Amino acid sequence: MIAELLWQPFVDYGFMRRAFAGCLALSAGAAPLGTILLLRRMSLVGDAMSHAILPGAALGYLLFGLSLPAMTIGGLAAGLIVAMLSGVVTRYTALREDASFAGLYLISLALGVLLISLRGSNVDLLHVLFGSVLALDDPTLYLTATIASLSMLGLALVYRPLLMECLDPGFLRLQGPMGSISHALFMLLLVLNLVGGFHSLGTLMAVALVVLPAASARFWLRGVGLQMALSTAIAMAGSLLGLLLSYHAGIAASAAITLSLGCLYLLSLCLGRLGSVRAQRQRPANDSVSEPMGVSE
Partner 1 sequence: MSNFYLNRRALLGLALTSALPVGSVWAAGQPLPVVASFSILQDLTRQVGGDRVSVSALVGPDGDAHVFEPTPQQARQLQQAKVLVANGLDFEGWLPRLKKAAGFQGQEIVASQGIAVRSLPKGQGHDHGHDHGAGKEGHDHDHDHDHGHGHHHGPNDPHAWQDVKNAIVYVRNIAKGLAKADPANAAQYDKQATQYIARLTALDASLRQRFAALPAERRSVVSTHDAFGYFAQAYGLRFVPVRGLSTESEPSARDLAALVKQVREERIGAIFVENISDPRLLEQLARETGAAIGGRLYSDALSPDGGPASTYVDMVETNAATLLKALQAR
Partner 2 sequence: MMQSVSGLAAAAVHGIDFELSNLGLGYGGKLALRGVSGQFAAGSITAIVGPNGGGKSTLLKGLLGQLAPMQGSLRCRYPRAALGYLAQACEVERDFPISVEDFVSMGLWAQTGALGAVSDAQRAQISMALATVGLQGWQPRWIAELSGGQFQRMRFARLWVQNPPVILLDEPFTGVDEPSIDVLLQLLQQWHTRGRTVLAVLHDREMVEAFFPQALALAGTQLAWGASADVLPSLAARAGARRRA
Question: How far apart are CB 208 and partner 1 at their closest, in Å?
Answer: 9
Q: How many CB atoms lie within 10 A of CB 9?
A: 18
Contacts of 194 (CB under 8 A, 6+ apart): 46, 49, 50, 53, 75, 79, 206, 207, 210
Partner in contact with 203, chosen from partner 2, partner 1, none, beta carbon below 5 to 8 Å by kind: partner 1
Q: Torsion angle, CA of 82/84/90/91, rounded to 10 degrees?
A: -160
Q: Figure out which of the listed residues 1, 2, 94, 124 binds partner 1, where binding follows CB under 8 A.
A: 124
Question: Does position 59 bind partner 1 by CB under 8 A?
Answer: no
**Window contacting partner 1 (CB under 8 A); options: 37-45, 79-87, 161-169, 248-256:** 248-256
Cα–Cα dist 223/109, whole Å:
36
Q: Which of residues 216-235 bind partner 2 (CB under 8 A)?
A: 222-224, 227
Q: How far is CA 128 from CA 23, 62, 99, 123, 158, in A?
A: 20, 12, 31, 9, 35
**Window contacting partner 1 (CB under 8 A); options: 112-120, 215-223, 229-237, 282-290:** 112-120
Question: Does position 164 bind partner 2 by CB under 8 A?
Answer: yes
Question: How far apart are CB 140 and partner 1 at their closest, in Å?
Answer: 9
Question: How much is the CA Rg of the chain, to the nearest whole Å?
Answer: 20
Query: Residue 182 is which amino acid?
Result: S
Q: Figure out which of the listed residues 38, 148, 209, 253 binds partner 1, where binding follows CB under 8 A.
A: 253
Q: Figure out which of the listed residues 44, 81, 185, 255 binds partner 1, where binding follows CB under 8 A.
A: 255
**Window contacting partner 2 (CB under 8 A); options: 69-77, 90-98, 136-144, 289-297:** 289-297
Q: What is the DSSP string of 33-64?
A: HHHHHHHTT-HHHHHHHHHHTHHHHHHHHHHH
Q: Figure out which of the listed residues 94, 122, 282, 297 binds partner 1, where binding follows CB under 8 A.
A: 122
Cα–Cα dist 245/264, whole Å:
14
Return residues touching partner 2 (CB under 8 A). 39, 157-161, 163-164, 166-172, 174-176, 178, 182, 222-224, 227, 289, 291-292, 294-296
